[in-house]
Structures are given as structure tokens and as C-alpha cells.
Amino acid sequence: PPAWDRAARAPPSPLQPPGLLVPCRSFSNNKIQVELDESSGVAMMKFKSPPVNSLSLEFLTEFSISLEKLENNRACRGVIITSAIPKIFSSGLDITEMCGKSVEHYAEFWRAVQEMWLRLYGSNMVTVAAVNGSSPAGGCLVALSCDYRIMAENPKFSIGLNEAQLGIVAPFWFKDTFVNVVGHRTAERSLQLGSLHPAPEAHKLGLVDELVPEEKLMEKAAAVMAQWLALPDHARQLTKTMMRKAVLDRLVAHREEDIKNFITFVSKESIQKSLRMYMEMLKKKK
């Protein structure tokens, strides 16, 4: 069962003395590096999938597994998510997974996107996004799903759900997550225009909570994390569940339907054409 369903049943999880911990200091797979500081209970997750931390099927699977491992590790109470790649947090869903593949592949891919979001948005851990680069589309979703967003104040970095720019539509649960952060009006305008907001504008809209100079980002993330971890876990988790359950439950109730919609949409020749054109453009940019 996902974390937000377990919260109500789970006993309070006081920090165990370090000696009793399952050893889990660091695990690094292909795409994401994870380090757990057992003394603070804080894990650092670093996206390191060049060139732009695309959310491929492999990346998403590794992301979900990493989150699950940490969720089940009682030594871990919070996660800071950031990027090991300069200038980019994550470029969002990997378009190659949506182009010229089989229906089965589309289904598997979309289920992995859903799974990642259900784990992250519903996590019992404190989640802080340290957004140290641009973060369009799915990358923005990752940030929006955390408890707190700090962004490097560089105006060259932008963030937003810009799907409409590509001729595609953000799914309803991307939208729900966005509305819960910035409100209905800002979401309506930003989603329709497919806006990518430079960091200062993103801050003004409430899309990110705080801007700091890039060199202070990790320090600030650690300080924010410490502030959130000062609260007793159990009450904080139940409160988080109370705020997010309606939106999480909505996807769970419509999960298969949402996969079918994605397949139908992405299988259209007009959409395939748009995506191919977009990939060509990206290649030329490089």
C-alpha cells in the first residue's frame, strides 16, 4: 500500500539510535545517486542521467524503487531531491518513450510515471526539492510534488508545466498538483499558455517557495529540512495525508482509464508528428 494509506496505521516513527539501523548509507544505480546521512535521517537524491535527466522508463523505475527503499528505512525521515547535472533539474518525460513504440510500451511507461508521482506526492517523508536548474513539464511535476521547493535564483533557469507548447495536454493529476500549489487562476493561465517561468517569476507565483543564490542552495535545503524534521513525524504525516489524499485517491480511482487515455492520445498520428518535430528541434539545438 502507498505511503499515504499507511500513515494512519503506522506507529509513530521515532529516530532509532544509529547502532540499530539497517546499513543503508548510500546506493547508486545508473541514473540516481542516493546518500543517506543516518545521523540526521536525511537522504540526498541526485539525478545524474545525462544529458538532461529525462524521465525515461528506466529513470522512473529507479526513482520509484529508491523512494520505496527510503520510505521503508526507519532511519530515513526526509529526502532532498536535486540534480548532479549543471543547469538542468530534469527536462521532464523522455519523449523517446512516447515515439514510435508499441501500445504495451506506452502502457508500461505511463504506469511508471503514475507510480513515481503516487510515491513522491504521497510520501510520508519530508521532501524538499533543491531546484538547481531548469525544470520543464515532468521535471516541474517532481518539484511540485515535494513539500517545499527552493530554486537557484538564476533567471536563466525556468520551471513550468509547458506541455501545451508541445501540442500535448498535462494529465488531470499534473493539473491537480499544480492547482494545490498555485491556485486555480494561476494554474489555468499558466497551463493554457504552457508557460516556462523564469525563477523570479516562479517565486512570485508561488510555484517555488524560495529563491537563493545557487551556491547556497544545498545549505538552505538542509536548513529547511531540519525545520520540517523538528516536528513529530506522526502528526506531520497525518496532516500531509489530510491535505493530499483527495488528489492522490483521484488518480488511484482512475488509473487504468488514465493509461488508456494516454495510449489513445499518444498513438494519434498528429501527436506522433508533433513529438517527432519537437525531438528534431531539440537535436538541432544541441
> Among residue numbers 124 through 163, which ones bind a copy of itself (CB under 8 A)?
147-148, 163
Q: Calculate ∠ Cα 132-133-138, nearest 5°.
A: 110
- Got the DSSP string for 142-210? HHHTSSEEEEE--TT-EEE--GGGGT----HHHHHHHHHHH-HHHHHHHHHHT--EEHHHHHHHTSSSE
User: Any catalytic annotation for residue 92?
Assistant: no
Task: Determine, following the binding rule CB under 8 A, whether residue 272 of this chain makes contact with a copy of itself.
Answer: no
Given 36, 57, 60, 93, which residue is catalytic? 93
Task: Determine, following the binding rule CB under 8 A, whether residue 192 of this chain makes contact with a copy of itself.
Answer: yes
Given 92, 133, 138, 194, which residue is catalytic? 138
Task: Determine, following the binding rule CB under 8 A, whether residue 181 of this chain makes contact with a copy of itself.
Answer: yes
**8-state DSSP, 274:** H
Query: Minimal distance in Å, beta carbon 281 to a copy of itself?
Result: 14
Shorter beta-carbon distance to a copy of itself: residue 50 or 206 = 206
Which of 13, 99, 167, 201 touches a copy of itself (CB under 8 A)? 167
**8-state DSSP, 137:** H
User: Any catalytic annotation for residue 35?
Assistant: no
At which residue does the C-alpha cell 489530510 appear?
A: 242
Query: Minimal distance in Å, beta carbon 148 to a copy of itself?
Result: 7
Q: Residue 103 corresponds to which amino acid?
A: V
**8-state DSSP, 122:** T
Which of 219, 232, 253, 276 touches a copy of itself (CB under 8 A)? 232
User: Any catalytic annotation for residue 162?
Assistant: yes
Shorter beta-carbon distance to a copy of itself: residue 27 or 265 = 265
CA 41 from chain centre, in angstroms, equals 20
Choose the stretch contacting a copy of itself; rule: CB under 8 A; options: 52-60, 77-85, 211-219, 237-245.
237-245
* Distances in whole angstroms, Cα of residue 114 to Cα of each of 48, 105, 119, 172, 280: 21, 14, 9, 12, 27
Residues contacting 224, CB < 8 A, separation 6+: 128, 148, 150, 210
Task: Determine, following the binding rule CB under 8 A, whether residue 278 of this chain makes contact with a copy of itself.
Answer: no
Shorter beta-carbon distance to a copy of itself: residue 242 or 253 = 242
Residues contacting 5, CB < 8 A, separation 6+: 122
Which of 33, 40, 61, 274 touches a copy of itself (CB under 8 A)? 274
Percent of the chain as helix, strand, coil, to the nearest 5: 55, 15, 30
Shorter beta-carbon distance to a copy of itself: residue 119 or 240 = 240
Residues contacting 251, CB < 8 A, separation 6+: 114, 117, 118, 172, 173, 258
Query: Minimal distance in Å, beta carbon 22 to a copy of itself?
Result: 24
Task: Determine, following the binding rule CB under 8 A, whether residue 13 of this chain makes contact with a copy of itself.
Answer: no
User: Any catalytic annotation for residue 122?
Assistant: no
Report yes or no: 186 and 180 within 8 Å, Cβ to Cβ.
no
Given 141, 163, 196, 205, which residue is catalytic? 163
Which of 15, 24, 107, 164 touches a copy of itself (CB under 8 A)? 164
Which of 188, 201, 210, 214 touches a copy of itself (CB under 8 A)? 188
Shorter beta-carbon distance to a copy of itself: residue 42 or 85 = 42
Q: Which residues are marked as active site?
A: 93, 138, 162-163
